[in-house]
Structure 1
Amino acid sequence: MGAPTVTQVADGTYLVGGTEVNWTVLTDGDAVTLIDAGYPGDEHLVVESLRSLGYRPEQIAAVLITHAHIDHVGSLPGLLRRGTFPVHTSEQEARHARREYLEQATTLDVVTRLWRPGYLGWSLAITRAGATKHVRVPEARPFPGPGPLDLPGHPVPVPTPGHTSGHTCYHLPEAGALVTGDTLITGHRTSPVSGPQLVTPFFSHDPAATLASLDVLEPLAADVILPGHGPAHRGPLKEATALARERAAATR
């Protein structure tokens, strides 16, 4: 696991690449909003990404979760030992983060696909990053109120159930950007295509609902996609969602 890749997409808005997954950093003055947090082994990469922007974990105003899969919440227990901050997501997903239930692809789901291109290298990398660990975030709580949230970046939660039952995207109107988590991604080592797309269906709890959630994203005012996997994407959101639908239809 090398250094994180930090890409500025707007003032105070950064997409960071860790181990096969991204997180987003929103800065304002001496405070930071962190959206998602990588695998358990990405803790030092999250800290390094903050330090590269001139911040420390103690300056995190809040962590927002798109969804509670281990690649998006894995480093939170370690970060919470470094600083005190709230962790927010939807009411449904807060229960998921606390591990009152679990919606996640199993080891068997992955093992049966290791023969496919990209899966072996990806699975080895995420295993080293702690993908098989049991991580729960008992601190996870529902949003304190309707958006925009009073946090750096003023993110607006957008419910997008499907990938998980309580998945949330975050609209950043001031930056003209949308943090899409795993509802809409732009690349994955196991995918043969690049650009806007859905995750492979077995990764999602309800693939049909994930597809339907694109209807929620399409009208939002944003021309930058900050995905959970893959690089930032610039272009009309309507075109991105249309391409994702087209690709999903082609693989049925």
Structure 2
Amino acid sequence: MRYEQVADNVFLIRGTDVNMFVLRDGRDLTLIDAGWHGDAATIEKSIRALGHRPEDITAILLTHAHLDHVGALNHLHREYAIPVYTSETEAAHARGEHHESATPLDVIKRLTDRSTLGWATRITAAGGLRKNPVPHIQPFPTEGPLDLPGHPIPIPTPGHTSGHTAYHLPTAGAIATGDTLVTAHPTSKLTGPQPLPNFFNHSTPATIDSYTALEPVPADLVLPGHGPVWTNGIAAAVARARESAAHQRT
């Protein structure tokens, strides 16, 4: 299966080399991120395998507006009228008003690496070259905890993109870190908590600075945008990621 339970009422959905997370409260769900365009069917099948319908998704929260996270947003909005929220800065990015992302040329330069080549092939098949603006996205309706399943608390973590947001999930003792802090990626030789390689980040120094906002969050479980779930706490993950940053591939 492409999903697994990682905490009480928290589920991981595996897209094409990218993670998405479902928060459950009774019959209502919150989805964090939406994979690539080609991951729409995986999301729907996983939701149904959990005993739910896509219509049970109350809202989708976006960490940031890269193609591997916005992929199924338009499909889910068109088919089920599901609203999507992110920070005000990132909403403009998602609508296509500015661009902060690795380019195809950035990837092509690195295709001599076998794992990167395999990843590039997979993501191209999943819609990696497809423009995918999200015109209906909205800024968060309130500050602080959101009135959604899982009671997620947005935490601004600019750097990977200017409006990147992590989400503290207090009822699960977890934090969804998006791409500010990941635990693996096919383009990285490192394992364990780390920032993504520099060419993915709008600003790697700002990404590292954002770890200051993550470090004190009371969360034993780290839910990254890429790589396996980390169970040794966010403070330990941040410490490891800072160490990894010194050895990061450019």
TM-score by length of 1: 0.96
Distance 1:92 1:81 in 2: 23
For residues 48-59 of structure 1, what are the structure 2 equivalents within 5 Å? 48-59=45-56
- Aligned mate of 1:173, from 170, 173, 178: 170
Distance 2:112 2:133 in 1: 31
2:29 equivalent to 1:29: no
Distance 2:4 2:230 in 1: 11
Distance 1:250 1:60 in 2: 40
Between the two proteins, what is the percent identity of the paired residues?
Answer: 55
2:207 equivalent to 1:210: yes
- Deviation of 1:187 after TM superposition, in Å, equals 0.7
Contact in 1 for aligned 2:20/2:225 (Cα 8 Å): yes
Contact in 1 for aligned 2:47/2:54 (Cα 8 Å): yes
- Deviation of 1:54 after TM superposition, in Å, equals 1.1
- Deviation of 1:15 after TM superposition, in Å, equals 1.5
Distance 1:189 1:251 in 2: 13
Distance 1:251 1:63 in 2: 31
Q: 2:198 is matched by which residue type in structure 1?
A: P
- Aligned mate of 1:7, from 4, 20, 23: 4
CA RMSD between the two structures:
1.1
Q: 2:80 is matched by which residue type in structure 1?
A: G
Q: Extract unaligned runs of 5+ from structure 2.
A: none
Which residue number in structure 1 is paired with residue 65 of structure 2?
A: 68
- Deviation of 1:82 after TM superposition, in Å, equals 1.6
Q: 1:206 is matched by which residue type in structure 2?
A: S
Distance 2:128 2:52 in 1: 27
- Deviation of 1:147 after TM superposition, in Å, equals 2.1
Contact in 1 for aligned 2:190/2:244 (Cα 8 Å): no
TM-score by length of 2: 0.97
2:112 equivalent to 1:115: yes
Distance 1:158 1:231 in 2: 21
2:243 equivalent to 1:233: no
Which residue number in structure 2 is paired with residue 160 of structure 1?
A: 157
Distance 1:115 1:75 in 2: 30
Distance 2:167 2:112 in 1: 35
Q: 1:218 is matched by which residue type in structure 2?
A: E
Runs (4+) of structure 1 moved beyond 3 Å?
none
Which residue number in structure 2 is paired with residue 194 of structure 1?
A: 191
Query: Partner of 1:234: helix, strand, or coil?
Result: coil
- Deviation of 1:101 after TM superposition, in Å, equals 1.0
Which residue number in structure 2 is paired with residue 137 of structure 1?
A: 134
Distance 2:233 2:206 in 1: 22
Q: Deviations over 1:132-187 (max 9, x none)?
A: 00101111111001121000000000000000000000000110000000000011
- Deviation of 1:193 after TM superposition, in Å, equals 2.2
Contact in 2 for aligned 1:57/1:82 (Cα 8 Å): no
